[in-house]
């Protein structure tokens, strides 16, 4: 969920901690129920090179899979706590939820923060705005106590939206950005950085497991990694530069032929996007090779061919990461199958892609701020 432009507003030993939110099962419980947990642990012993999480606390927050389009988890804000469903987004850096003063249609159906009911609320005279791929918001910066599972950040700066558009049909209240602080639009310290600086998170690491086919079990974890969510070893990929979760891609191939990224390119790993996005000309080429039938901006394929569509392979740091047809095809409300590829709206001087949930559902991802790298491994 990449922010694009700013707006002004002229107005005011390992311990795993599980946090049950909205009565979702964790992946560990799901595996246990199917008698598969012991098999997974025997086949894939714990191996996490160059990072030690011994004697650390790992907070695991369940996420809710919303039709394989986005994933939300619960946080609370204020004293006493008020609950919100947010998207944990690696492409942005700001936390925001709707204000009680927001009169936009999207705000009317979602939880709104009632600041007068919080004894720890603090106002500051600062405004900001963010434009995402799916919508935009304008709001004010405030401070209050924010909780993510058992992690507590007191006097945390965050945004209250006063005006929103584009989020009318989105079943989440706000966004919790997990990108680097230099990308904060509000120019405030992101919650992950504040928790890390205060020692609440023992290791500057978070990780995602995203379930498939609307199943339960999706999680985001802070302060370490639960190895039960991935197979084999993590492959570590250095960032293009510290300050953004983008990596270098060697090439993109299909049926052994290079179809994009012929001279290398970059890709942002974006947990807030339901798409794989790239330059318009190259995305059109991918759609043609798949054999899609365009209707407006959506590209359809017969559902009967999904299982025989060729995988699209992203080669990253010398490792191939195949994305099969069943991963880049979704069904709409009428049961029609369409691709998850979309043209990027923001043009750049060099070729760049966004690898969203179609990619991240296949590969467990570890975001290592301490070493400016991302770890990828096949998800269980």
- Asked if the model's pLDDT at residue 12 lies above 80, the reply is no
Phi, psi of 372 (to 5 degrees): 50, 60
At 173, list the tokens.
Answer: 């209240």
pTM of the predicted model, to two decimals? 0.86
Please give the CATH architecture assigned to the domain spanning 17-37+57-206. Answer: Beta Barrel (2.40)
pLDDT tens for 234-280 read 999 999 999 999 999 999 999 999 999 999 999 999 999 999 999 99
pLDDT the model gives residue 67: 81
User: What stretch(es) of the chain map to CATH 2.40.70.10?
Assistant: 17-37+57-206, 226-379
pLDDT the model gives residue 1: 60
Active site annotation includes 270? yes
Q: What is the average per-residue pLDDT within 335-340?
A: 96
- Asked if the model's pLDDT at residue 286 lies above 60, the reply is yes
> Helix, strand, coil proportions of the chain in percent (round to 5)?
15, 40, 45
pLDDT the model gives residue 48: 35
Q: Which of 68, 89, 193, 226 is catalytic?
A: 89
pLDDT tens for 85-120 read 999 999 999 999 999 999 899 898 899 999 999 999
Q: How far apart are CA 351 and CA 279, in angstroms?
A: 7
Q: How far apart are CA 218 and CA 360, in angstroms?
A: 11
Q: Judge contact between 330 and 275, C-beta under 8 A.
A: no
Closest CA to 74 of 18, 1, 149: 149
Q: What is the average per-residue pLDDT within 289-295?
A: 96
pLDDT tens for 193-237 read 999 999 999 899 999 999 988 788 999 999 999 999 999 999 999
Q: Which of 68, 94, 244, 270 is catalytic?
A: 270
Q: How far apart are CA 219 and CA 149, in angstroms?
A: 12
Q: Judge contact between 156 and 116, C-beta under 8 A.
A: no
* Ranges of H-type helices in the chain: 27-33, 37-43, 105-108, 191-197, 280-290, 325-328, 357-360
pLDDT the model gives residue 166: 87
Q: How many CB atoms lie within 10 A of CB 257?
A: 8
CATH code, residues 226-379: 2.40.70.10
Q: How far apart are CA 174 and CA 166, in angstroms?
A: 13
């Amino acid at each position: 969920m990449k922010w694009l432009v700013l707006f002004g507003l002229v107005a005011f030993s390992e311990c795993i901690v599980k946090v049950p939110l909205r009565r979702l099962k964790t992946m560990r419980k799901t595996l246990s129920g199917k008698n598969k947990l012991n098999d997974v642990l025997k086949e894939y012993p714990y191996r996490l090179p160059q990072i030690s999480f011994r004697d650390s606390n790992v907070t695991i927050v369940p996420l809710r899979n919303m039709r394989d389009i986005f994933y939300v988890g619960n946080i609370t804000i204020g004293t006493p706590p008020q609950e919100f469903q947010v998207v944990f987004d690696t492409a942005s850096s700001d936390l925001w939820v709707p204000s009680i003063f927001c009169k936009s249609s999207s705000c009317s159906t979602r939880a709104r923060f009632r600041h007068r009911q919080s004894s720890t609320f603090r106002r500051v005279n600062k405004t900001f705005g963010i434009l995402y791929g799916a919508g935009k918001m304008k709001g004010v910066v405030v401070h209050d106590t924010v909780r993510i599972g058992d992690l507590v950040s007191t006097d945390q700066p965050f945004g209250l939206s006063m005006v929103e558009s584009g989020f009318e049909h989105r079943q989440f209240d706000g966004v919790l950005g997990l990108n680097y602080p230099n990308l904060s639009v509000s120019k405030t310290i992101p919650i992950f950085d504040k928790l890390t600086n205060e020692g609440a998170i023992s290791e500057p690491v978070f990780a995602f497991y995203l379930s498939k086919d609307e199943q339960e079990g999706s999680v985001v974890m802070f302060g370490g990694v639960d190895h039960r969510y991935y197979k084999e070893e993590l492959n570590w990929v250095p960032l293009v530069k510290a300050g953004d979760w983008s990596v270098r891609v060697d090439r993109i191939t299909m049926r052994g032929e290079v179809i994009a990224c012929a001279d290398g390119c970059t890709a942002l790993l974006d947990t807030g996007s339901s798409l794989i996005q790239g330059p318009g000309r190259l995305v059109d080429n991918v759609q043609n090779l798949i054999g899609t039938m365009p209707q407006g901006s959506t590209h359809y394929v017969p559902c009967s061919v999904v299982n025989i569509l060729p995988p699209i392979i992203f080669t990253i740091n010398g490792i191939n990461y195949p994305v099969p047809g069943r991963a880049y095809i979704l069904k709409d409300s009428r049961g029609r199958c369409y691709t998850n590829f979309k043209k990027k709206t923001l043009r750049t001087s060099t070729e760049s892609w966004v690898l969203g949930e179609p990619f991240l559902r296949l590969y467990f991802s570890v975001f290592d701020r301490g070493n400016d790298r991302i770890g990828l491994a096949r998800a269980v």
